[in-house]
């Protein structure tokens, strides 16, 4: 399954990563790792989550 990421979601993630990187770069790295794991799970098991309506 191909995952589509909205531009607003990408911006939100980048802002969050920047914020956490200012506090602790390891925190930002851990968050990015978790986001990547979540995307991999969605790709692997696409029927385990509901798509956003109207998207």
Locate the domains of the chain by residue range.
Answer: 7-44
pTM, to two decimals: 0.81
- Cβ atoms < 10 Å from Cβ of 13: 14
How would you label 26-47 residue by residue, b for 16+ Cβ within 10 Å and e otherwise?
eebeebeeeeeeeeeeeeeeee
Q: pLDDT by residue (tens digit) across 6-35?
A: 999 999 999 999 999 999 999 999 999 999
Q: pLDDT by residue (tens digit) across 30-52?
A: 999 999 999 999 999 988 878 77
In angstroms, rounded to a whole number, what is the distance separating the alpha carbons of residues 16 and 3?
Answer: 20
Q: 27 with 20: CB under 8 angstroms?
A: yes
């Amino acid at each position: 399954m191909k995952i589509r990421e909205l531009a607003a979601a990408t911006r939100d993630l980048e802002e969050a990563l920047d914020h956490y990187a200012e506090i602790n770069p390891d925190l930002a790295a851990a968050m990015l790792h978790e986001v990547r794991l979540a995307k991999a799970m969605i790709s692997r098991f696409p029927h385990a989550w509901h798509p956003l309506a109207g998207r």
